[in-house]
Amino acid sequence: MKSDVDVIIIGAGAAGLAAAIELQSTDLTFLILEARNRVGGRAHTDQNTFGETSIDLGASWIHSYGPNNVLYNYHNTFNIDSHKNQRHGSIICVDYDGKPFTSETFIQARSIYEHLDSYISYNKNDENDQSIEQVIQSEYERLVPSHGPVKRLVDLLLSGCEQYEAGNFVHLSANQWGVGEGTGSDQWVSSGYGKLLEQIADKHNLPIQLNTLVTKIDTTNNERIVITTMNSTSKISCRRVIITIPLGCLKSETILFEPPLPDWKRQAINHMGLGLMNKLILQFPQHFWDTNARSFLHACNERRGRFRSIICLPPPANILILFVSGIFARELEALTDIEILEHIMKFLRQIFSETIIPDPINYKFTRWAQDPLAYGSYSNFAVHSSRHTIEKLARETSNGRVQWAGEHANIDDGTEDWSYGCVHSAFQSGQRAAKNIRDQLCTS
């Protein structure tokens, strides 16, 4: 084990890889320590479970896709099969029983939704942040019928925002409504977003030590920072450290800091919201849905946004990916695979009631909240958090010797492209952290 380098980077997700690539343009020695047996972190492609089909268990779309996106060029270079595997077809919106909505219902629900959207924007209150749920409650009660298709469709539209944030309106900040979402369209990474990050790591031949869980960072010595890892008697020392571990791990204090982190940093870690999105992936012996469907959006009678959206991968893959988020995702994580499967099959038989649905031949359900190297999916703005919270999450500590990066720590650069919570924002944050170190340690 290398025991003495200029810079240690903790975590080989998008942020850690970007930081390392940036440091390659310097004379500094560096090493990434990664607890998992693979790179990519929350961008991870399963290439085993579903035969020939690669499935992303974490990130799957490059948001704000275009030449301004730091990952655009990589994607164009590596994702050579993208034209073959792009997803085609329409998005089909169905009611709780699988029936389509009428166009009158659409028009009515859309107009209520747009009104609620503007209502939240007009009712931002810098003095007193509230949850989105609190802000819309009275307007929602005034405009939305107590039951029926219009209510279900308004709920479906609202739950799209909840799903995107991987949280629920009861927890999300009304003041941050629409903030930090970037611009432009999304690009599905056909061969896998996790795979793309693997390819990036390989291309740059980065020094990565896998299976290395960092347990302690000691900055008490002014010359060297001492890093302790699990299962190793020897310690690693360095001049600078870049921490890219997920917000969930910071909240759960999986790394011990000596001396402890300053109060402002710990408060920012506590204040920032952490969303949960899970994917329930099922492969069937044959398809039983309309193969013209790229995805289904499903309205429900019970609580807003349960099995809200389903991605369809056509034959020969015959795969459905159900997205679940927020409170519902957390409830499902508490169940066994068999119990989850029962819920899904009951749900599918309800919306595809005129078809015989075979049992799946393969399935996999993610549980990101229970993953001790993530403890959640990605950050969101909880009530009382803001861009200032992200700025604090990103702000250096120990006189600049400790730098912070990750999807939750991408500082607002003032451009309309700015975003947080996603792979390319993590990547940008890693570049920023490494540049700070380069400016400190390199003379030219």
Ligand X SMILES: Cc1cc2nc3c(=O)[nH]c(=O)nc-3n(C[C@H](O)[C@H](O)[C@H](O)COP(=O)(O)OP(=O)(O)OC[C@H]3O[C@@H](n4cnc5c(N)ncnc54)[C@H](O)[C@@H]3O)c2cc1C
Residues that bind ligand X (CB under 6 A): 10-16, 33-36, 41-43, 58-61, 63, 213-214, 244-246, 249, 254-255, 277, 279, 368, 373-374, 377-378, 406-407, 421-423, 426
* Least Cβ distance, residue 164 to ligand X (angstroms): 10
Cα torsion 376, 379, 381, 383: sign = positive
Q: How far apart are CA 160 and CA 151, in angstroms?
A: 14
Give burial (CB, 10 Å; 0-12/13-18/19+) of 219: middle
In the bound state with ligand X, the residue whose beta carbon lies nearer, of 11 and 273, is 11
In the bound state with ligand X, the residue whose beta carbon lies nearer, of 116 and 340, is 340
Instruction: Report CA 389 to chain centroid distance, whole Å.
Output: 18
In the bound state with ligand X, the residue whose beta carbon lies nearer, of 3 and 355, is 3
In the bound state with ligand X, the residue whose beta carbon lies nearer, of 12 and 136, is 12
* Least Cβ distance, residue 235 to ligand X (angstroms): 14
Spell out the long-range contacts of 217-224 with Cβ–Cβ below 8 A and sequence spacing 24 or more: 217/10, 217/241, 217/243, 217/255, 217/256, 217/257, 217/258, 217/402, 218/258, 219/257, 219/258, 219/259, 219/397, 219/398, 219/401, 219/402, 220/258, 220/259
Cα angle: 335, vertex 337, 338; to 5 degrees? 100
**CA-based Rg of the chain, rounded to a whole angstrom?**
23
* Least Cβ distance, residue 145 to ligand X (angstroms): 33
User: Known binder of ligand: residue 323?
Assistant: yes
Q: How far apart are CA 307 and CA 39, in angstroms?
A: 30
User: Which alpha helices (DSSP H) does 252-309 contain, by range?
Assistant: 263-271
User: Known binder of ligand: residue 258?
Assistant: no
In the bound state with ligand X, the residue whose beta carbon lies nearer, of 108 and 366, is 366
* Least Cβ distance, residue 371 to ligand X (angstroms): 8
Name the residue type at position 117.
Answer: D
Q: How far apart are CA 41 and CA 376, in angstroms?
A: 12
In the bound state with ligand X, the residue whose beta carbon lies nearer, of 92 and 236, is 236
Q: How far apart are CA 173 and CA 179, in angstroms?
A: 10
Beta-strand ranges (E) seen in 18-70 are: 30-33, 45-46, 55-56, 61-65
* Least Cβ distance, residue 344 to ligand X (angstroms): 16
| Of the candidates 83, 105, 82, the residue with the CA atom closest to the CA atom of residue 93 | 105
| Of the candidates 93, 90, 114, the residue with the CA atom closest to the CA atom of residue 103 | 93
Q: Other C-beta atoms within 10 Å of 275: how many?
A: 28
User: Known binder of ligand: residue 383?
Assistant: no
In the bound state with ligand X, the residue whose beta carbon lies nearer, of 176 and 377, is 377
In the bound state with ligand X, the residue whose beta carbon lies nearer, of 101 and 404, is 404
* Least Cβ distance, residue 361 to ligand X (angstroms): 23
| Of the candidates 339, 266, 345, 277, the residue with the CA atom closest to the CA atom of residue 309 | 277
Here the tokens at position 206 are 């980065």
User: Known binder of ligand: residue 365?
Assistant: no
In the bound state with ligand X, the residue whose beta carbon lies nearer, of 139 and 181, is 181
User: Known binder of ligand: residue 52?
Assistant: no
Annotated binding site for substrate: 323
**Residue numbers belonging to the annotated binding site for FAD:** 34-35, 214, 407
